[in-house]
Structure 1
């Protein structure tokens, strides 16, 4: 369910990223999934206990969509009112981490546990890991010569929740350079991803920064 509350400054919307199920930001979900699958560049760290389960739990994550952007036909994606003449877009996704299994009395008697067997390591994402996986994702979409560039990769807190702020760019053949700003918010029960994408000639950098700064995480009591 997406709740849009009108009245947050100049026609902007505040969006509650609460139960979006379709991954609309190419690659961001895949990068995190690969960490779960064990594709960690540091084997010693991969064998060490994960601290992910000690993070606080989140109820929801909100952000203000820039004025002039509206929901598209793709779940979790906002496009500019002049799309496709303006290609800028904002996508968001929420990954709900599986809860422990509910065991039957027979399973309990058989000694089975409620642990789902997956140890989440989303908090161990590195610049090298993100660049490698994301570059491969975009090469699969646009071809080899995309000049994928990792501009900045930093850890960032959102209302006390850890996460990342990542800036990248790539240039598909015969197309303009695409600049992306990705925010990833971590909690022990949900992972939120917001991706701001714009072409080199799109004048939305300032609006996207303001939207990024509006990200708010509501803690689950």
Structure 2
């Protein structure tokens, strides 16, 4: 079973090809605001590295948010076209779960602009409560009330977030993938109005 995993929901572009649970080829790097132009070259790169073509892909999994208003749509659009044209399954995963992986206890904070953050607490790959948006004043209280490692891109007090292994986390979270019964009905999950998703800054890839 060949799986294509893609994440363009936030600052990184991650794409991986797996044969069952084994990573065949993958790429993951910060690529903010350049995912749309970089995704297809990256896909061609990893397909070539694995000696595969798009016709060999049996299923697709993507993150569906929260994240950049435009970014979430990039991988989702590619995934919907591929899944619908080839009649293969499509799965989704929360961006915050991808950051946390299977850590026993992790708090994830992603910059949401205007001194706010997308926040979630994940234990062993499972969100313990609905994702939410916090103000800067609420970060410390959230992290204190949810012990564990800190992930994302928001420092809290003297704590800096750890760097996740996105390619490993995708496949480690296989049991958390959510099947999309109707590929055409897949939509990004946004926690707030679209104009608030215009996250500033970031580096090219």
Give me the TM-score of the superposition, normalised by structure 2: 0.26
Q: Which has the higher strand share?
A: 1
Higher fraction of helix: 2
Q: TM-score, normalised by structure 1?
A: 0.25
Could you say which structure has the larger radius of gyration? 1
